[in-house]
């Protein structure tokens, strides 16, 4: 008999219609079903089955840094990759396997499919979503763009295929600052979506004229500056690594601000033995395995006397499990489809980033 999978209520912020750039939001509810941890024996059996099925099905695992350590280790051990969404898509495109099994959230599967339209892209759970994607519905976003026809539309990868298709440029946090700076130097005014904190950070770094969609990531939005200052006092030698989806007062306390790959690089290169890390705690696995001589501490997500909501881990990333992975490999179910009209983003490799179609 299969175990009952608990369903969690997840709150996220949704900009009120017509007010994408203003501060008005309402709180909406979504859900996540997070598989129970298998027993050690079940875990080994599932891993063995997945290894065998990957070979039988000519498939490769592509996992994000935020998913369960088992799915990260298994991806690497079987010739796949653990990385950010940009590298996941590129790796999938360049690999000879005809089936990609993407462990992450839905926009990552869609992006992999857009970049590799001829391949089959499967995901352990197609309902694994993202608050940035949910908080930026395509029709509302399109209206917002229509209100700003003079602006170049730059969107973050954490969006649906339909929102991507409405954009001029598509970026990840690893290249957003460079792309917006280059656009600003060419005289463009920017419409940015959906993450307001990342948008604020890019605006400060580049000085570009930007209007921002008012979305946020439920994980990064929860990091707390006051408590982080306290933690820094307890670890005076620790360097603080912050993802730019975090609030500006948290970013202001950082020794290094970076995307997931930027945080990994900073941890490797900085001359320190202790780090406080403000990003999804799924990253800790890679940080710790690559830097066994260094100490990594999670940045605080709960205020004084308040409890955390996401507790630094995305509930939708947590929907990826070994059982789901084995099941989709066996059955070929949970395939990602992107409507052909939405899936035509060309990939610009010369500057190492994604660009969308010229207008």
To 10 degrees, the CA torsion angle through 183, 186, 189, 191? -20
Q: Residue 245 in 3-state DSSP?
A: coil
Residues at the site binding ligand CIZ, with contacts judged by CB under 6 A:
64, 84-86, 157-158, 172-173, 243, 259-260
Q: Please give the sequence-ordered ranges of beta strands (E in DSSP) within 39-167, or none if there are none.
A: 59-64, 81-83, 99-103, 120-122, 152-156
Minimum CB distance to ligand CIZ smaller for 53 or for 157: 157
Q: How far is Cα 288 from Cα 64, in angstroms, rounded to an integer?
A: 16
Minimum CB distance to ligand CIZ smaller for 87 or for 323: 87
Q: Taking the complex as a whole, how short is the minimal distance between the CB of residue 328 and ligand CIZ, in angstroms?
A: 21
Q: Taking the complex as a whole, how short is the minimal distance between the CB of residue 6 and ligand CIZ, in angstroms?
A: 25
Q: How far is Cα 271 from Cα 239, in angstroms, rounded to an integer?
A: 9
Q: How far is Cα 162 from Cα 294, in angstroms, rounded to an integer?
A: 42
Q: Taking the complex as a whole, how short is the minimal distance between the CB of residue 326 and ligand CIZ, in angstroms?
A: 24
Minimum CB distance to ligand CIZ smaller for 172 or for 327: 172
Q: Taking the complex as a whole, how short is the minimal distance between the CB of residue 83 and ligand CIZ, in angstroms?
A: 7
Q: Taking the complex as a whole, how short is the minimal distance between the CB of residue 173 and ligand CIZ, in angstroms?
A: 4
Minimum CB distance to ligand CIZ smaller for 82 or for 212: 82
Q: How far is Cα 327 from Cα 49, in angstroms, rounded to an integer?
A: 10
Q: Strand 25-33 to strand 274-278: parallel, antiparallel, or no bridges (unpaired)?
A: unpaired
Q: Taking the complex as a whole, how short is the minimal distance between the CB of residue 116 and ligand CIZ, in angstroms?
A: 17
Q: How far is Cα 353 from Cα 169, in angstroms, rounded to an integer?
A: 10
Longest CA span, the chain: 62
Minimum CB distance to ligand CIZ smaller for 246 or for 327: 246
- The phi and psi torsions of 5 (rounded to 5 degrees) equal -95, 120
Minimum CB distance to ligand CIZ smaller for 103 or for 173: 173
Report whether 159 contacts 111 (CB < 8 A): no
Minimum CB distance to ligand CIZ smaller for 47 or for 64: 64
- Say which residue the tokens 């948008």 belong to: 199
- Could you tell me which residues come within 8 angstroms of residue 335 by beta carbon, excluding any fewer than 6 positions away? 120, 121, 122
Q: How far is Cα 220 from Cα 227, in angstroms, rounded to an integer?
A: 14
Label residue 49 exposed, middle or buried (CB < 10 Å: 0-12, 13-18, 19+). Answer: middle
Q: Taking the complex as a whole, how short is the minimal distance between the CB of residue 102 and ligand CIZ, in angstroms?
A: 12
Q: Taking the complex as a whole, how short is the minimal distance between the CB of residue 66 and ligand CIZ, in angstroms?
A: 7
Q: Taking the complex as a whole, how short is the minimal distance between the CB of residue 261 and ligand CIZ, in angstroms?
A: 6
Q: Taking the complex as a whole, how short is the minimal distance between the CB of residue 236 and ligand CIZ, in angstroms?
A: 27
Minimum CB distance to ligand CIZ smaller for 111 or for 206: 111
The residues that bridge with 195 in the sheet, in sequence order, are 215
How many CA within 13 A on the CB side of residue 176? 34
Minimum CB distance to ligand CIZ smaller for 94 or for 150: 94
Q: Which of 96, 70, 42 is nearest to 320 (CA)?
A: 70
Minimum CB distance to ligand CIZ smaller for 259 or for 301: 259
């Amino acid at each position: 008999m299969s175990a009952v999978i608990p369903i969690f209520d997840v709150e996220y912020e949704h900009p009120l219609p017509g007010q994408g750039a203003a501060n008005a939001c309402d709180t909406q509810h979504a859900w996540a079903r997070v598989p129970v941890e298998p027993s050690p024996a079940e875990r080994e059996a599932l891993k063995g089955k997945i290894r065998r099925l990957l070979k039988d099905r000519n498939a490769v695992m592509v996992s994000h840094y935020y998913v369960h350590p088992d799915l990260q280790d298994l991806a690497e051990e079987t010739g796949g990759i653990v990385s950010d969404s940009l590298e996941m898509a590129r790796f999938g495109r360049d690999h000879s396997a005809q089936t990609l099994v993407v462990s992450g959230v839905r926009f990552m599967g869609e992006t992999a499919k857009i970049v590799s339209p001829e391949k089959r892209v499967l995901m352990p759970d197609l309902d694994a979503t993202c608050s940035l994607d949910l908080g930026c519905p395509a029709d509302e976003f399109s209206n917002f763009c229509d209100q700003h026809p003079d602006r170049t539309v730059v969107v973050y990868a954490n969006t649906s295929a339909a929102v991507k298709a409405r954009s001029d440029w598509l970026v990840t946090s690893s290249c957003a600052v460079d792309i917006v700076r280059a656009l600003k130097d060419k005289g463009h005014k920017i419409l940015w979506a959906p993450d307001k904190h990342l948008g604020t950070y890019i605006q400060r770094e580049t000085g570009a004229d930007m209007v921002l969609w008012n979305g946020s990531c439920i994980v990064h939005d929860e990091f707390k500056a006051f408590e982080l200052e306290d933690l820094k006092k307890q670890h005076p030698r620790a360097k603080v690594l912050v993802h730019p989806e975090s609030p500006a007062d948290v970013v202001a306390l950082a020794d290094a601000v970076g995307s997931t790959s930027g945080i990994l690089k900073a941890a490797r290169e900085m001359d320190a033995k202790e780090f406080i890390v403000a990003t999804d705690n799924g990253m800790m696995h890679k940080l710790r395995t690559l830097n066994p001589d260094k100490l990594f501490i999670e940045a605080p997500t709960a205020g004084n006397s308040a409890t955390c909501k996401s507790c630094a881990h995305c509930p939708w990333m947590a929907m990826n499990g070994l059982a789901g992975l084995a099941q989709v490999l066996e059955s070929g179910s949970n395939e990602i489809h992107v409507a052909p009209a939405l899936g035509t983003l060309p990939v610009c490799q010369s500057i190492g980033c994604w660009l969308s179609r010229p207008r």
